[in-house]
Amino acid sequence: MNARTPDEDRAAPEISDYGLLGDCHGSALVSRDGSVDWWCPARFDAPAVFGRLLDPHAGHWSIRPATGYSVERRYVEGSMVVETDFRCESGVLRVTDGLLLGAGERGHEIGFGSPHVLVRQLEVLEGEVEVEMEIVPRFEYGLVTPMIARTAAGVDIIGGADRLLLTGDRELQIEGSRAVGSFPLGAGERATFALHHRQSTDPPTTPLDGSPALQDTVAGWQSWSAMHQGYQGPYRDLVRRSALVLQALSYRPTGAVVAAPTTSLPEEIGGTANWDYRFGWLRDGSLTLKALWVAACPDEAQRFFDWITDSAGPGDGRPLQIMFGIGGEHDLTEHTLDHLAGYAGSRPVRIGNDAWTQKQLDVLGEVLECAWILRYQLGDFPPTTADFLISVADRAAATWQEPDAGIWEGREGERDYLTSKLMCWVALDRAVKLATQMDAPGEKAQRWETVRDEVRAAILDRGWSDSAGAFTGAFGSDHLDAGVLLMPVMGFLPADDKRILATMDAVERELSTDGLVQRWTGAGDEGAFVICSYWLATGRAMAGQVERAREIFDAVTAHANDLGLLSEEIDIHERTLIGNFPQGLSHIGLVDAAWAIAQAEDAEYH
């Protein structure tokens, strides 16, 4: 056996080259050229055991033909398992990659019993292919170089708090802190490798048979997908893929949904806007609930609502925290990993996110919007939930006039952001409508109604700019902000109101290029924010401008990668995906825009 030349110095490829693997606990990213460059097992926010995504020396697991090849890949239908076909001169190699679900899990039960195993199955479809493999684990984001030794069970990989066991059908050579192999496979031949993860405090691993376990995982995903095919409108396949992505971004033990499975993929290559998104935002949660309602079912949405209320705790007068760890953790203090070079040299690399300390009043509306969406599912609220929701509404009534950090979490100071006022209006509007269901005292409901109308009047008076001819980002400002596209989505004004139409026109004129919408006036080279583009498509559809809505939808969706995945932003010059990937908000926006187009077309038909 000839050991291959190490490719540890190879930098991570384009973000669009990656496919997401998920088991509803953690995540992995596998590239088009067969390298797993990111794996956070057990929890999305766990330290990566493969981290080449953020540094060439932070670990990877590559499998590919020894000679030149072309690539085609796809998700196995209805699953989060990726098939990659490497076509080379001598034959065709298929590599099937997946993170295992619990054995026998089906339907709504998938993801609870993940064994934290990454399986890679190889099969030659025609001819003969010489396969090369290299596994270079680097625990704790590349900080720990483990010991590797062959044992009776397989290849043991030990370092710090992490333990890996690699089992497979072919023997590998151990070269220091990596294992390598080169072997031929002929037509019809298979080889399967399973990488089992555990913590040092866990019992020893019982190896799984990778091939049947992977088939069982595909069946588990497909059973979930088969239960969630109610949406039959336009862009159906894209909506269903987005539903699977959102499910894969859920942490099943608690019901949390992470904003993205990665940290520090930059908003601008070489820049410093590199954030950790592996947490649950209440804002994202509200929007996720709506998307799951369309693309999945109320059961998935209710689990997320339960996580929100459990994590937030009692309404004790303190500001409502905007985000939590996936286990409900409150302290998400940010720090940097200075030993990592960063994606494409973009530093610093951050873990944790100090946005958790910000005051963002919009979350008050998002919590009550969640309750409103689930009002029929939940019935009368339990006393503890009702007390929590009442306290949220009271806080909106008491604080709506205060400045805050806004939905884009700027760190340059607080302002009177229009979207924050809008969402305080949502909080009060939904609280008035839910007052009976919450068993709220009559005087409270009357107070909420009075303040709601005050907020509305303030937005209409101070949020509109004659000079901009639009609703703008903050009271007294003439700068546009795509966040105001939420106004018709949240029911503040109808989409065909002349002021909303004027605002959409201004956003298209000033912030949009070929349907790709930046967040605000003066964004410079910042990428187009994907969900803002979908909000514009949604607004156009709600206004009955279906053809324009489809044009915008198609323009942004054309930038999804070959697996249908979207990042947070699109580079306005290179038209490449940038930012954390895949981004839940982007897929939420896709679902909502497709739904709005479906509703508008149905209204036209009837």
The pLDDT mean for the chain works out to 92
Residue 48 has pLDDT above 90, yes or no: yes
Instruction: Give this prediction's pTM.
Output: 0.95
Answer yes or no: are the C-beta atoms of 23 and 70 closer than 8 Å.
no
Answer yes or no: are the C-beta atoms of 597 and 605 closer than 8 Å.
no
Could you give the domains of the chain? 15-212 (2.70.98.40), 228-605 (1.50.10.10)
Distance CA 327, CA 39 (A): 19
Distance CA 484, CA 334 (A): 29
Sorting pLDDT into bands at 50, 70 and 90, what band is 4? very low
The owner of tokens 């088939």 is 215
pLDDT at site 1:
30
The owner of tokens 């029911």 is 491
Sorting pLDDT into bands at 50, 70 and 90, what band is 3? very low
Distance CA 537, CA 472 (A): 19
Residue 54 has pLDDT above 60, yes or no: yes
What's the mean pLDDT in 70-74? Answer: 98
Distance CA 423, CA 400 (A): 9
Residue 606 has pLDDT above 70, yes or no: no
Residue 423 has pLDDT above 60, yes or no: yes
- Token digits of residue 262: 């990665």
pLDDT at site 8:
61
> Cβ contacts of residue 98 below 8 Å, gap of 6+?
21, 79, 80, 81, 82, 118, 119, 214, 217, 218
pLDDT at site 374:
82
pLDDT in tens, 368-380: 998 888 887 777 7
Sorting pLDDT into bands at 50, 70 and 90, what band is 210? very high
**Rounded to the nearest 5°, which phi and psi values hold at 43?**
-145, 145
pLDDT at site 301:
66
What's the mean pLDDT in 182-203? Answer: 96
The answer to which of 105-109, 176-180, 202-206 has the lowest mean pLDDT is 202-206
